[in-house]
Amino acid sequence: MDRVGFIGLGLMGKPMALNLVKKGFFLTVHSRSQAPVDALVAAGAAQAGSPAEVAAASDVVITMVPDSPDVRLVLEGPRGVFETVRAGSVIVDMSTIAPAVARELAGKAASREVAMLDAPVSGGEIGAINASLSVMVGGDAEALERVRPVLNAIGNPERIVHIGPSGAGQVCKACNQICIGGALASVSEAFAIARKAGIDPARVREALLGGSRRAGCSRCTASAS
């Protein structure tokens, strides 16, 4: 299964797709903006004029778009993936969307004899560039094993985790965001206390990054500062 399609070449999608090309996958791409498509074609990918054309050329179709309505449009809309996707293919939605939508679309894919995984990621743009993303996967475990070589080219193989049935990956991503949000709130409170006490928050940040709390605080203090 080395024919891969990638739809959505934004901040995260473009470097993810580039890593697939670097790993030798035959890649077909589509995106709303032409510039990233041109960059992928220059790197060796093929261009498709619609999501349907991507699906027709691919065994594995990856989507990486902003939200639930965008995933619906790419899959169900005019010239969408569902128009041409072949039985036995696998759709991997790596967007962050509502779990209920992930389950609904997986059911519609199944009616076409197509497996669909919800596989949101964590790690940000740097993780996408370095192919070190964490991938939280919901859906059929056998389908995950079929596409694991593809995901290994995008993320850290040790952090590609099967969470459970369809929608479970999106639930895990929500849990991830809650943890990050709580940590950021704590860091913000810490900096507010420092300011109120007349202490330079930058020095507090430096101390937190250099001390025993480095592992837990580095990402959050960097984001909050």
Give catalytic residues, as residue numbers: 173
Q: How far is CA 207 from CA 37, 186, 196, 199, in A?
A: 43, 16, 18, 12
Burial environment of residue 147 by CB neighbours within 10 A (0 to 12, 13 to 18, 19 or more): buried
The identity of residue 12, as a single letter, is M
Bridge partners (DSSP) listed for residue 138: 118, 164
Q: Of 73, 139, 136, nearest to 110 (Cα)?
A: 139
Q: What angle do CA 108, 111, 114 make, to 5 degrees?
A: 85
Q: Residue holding tokens 């928050």?
A: 201
Q: Are 55 and 61 in contact (CB under 8 A)?
A: yes
Q: Of 143, 150, 135, nearest to 165 (Cα)?
A: 143
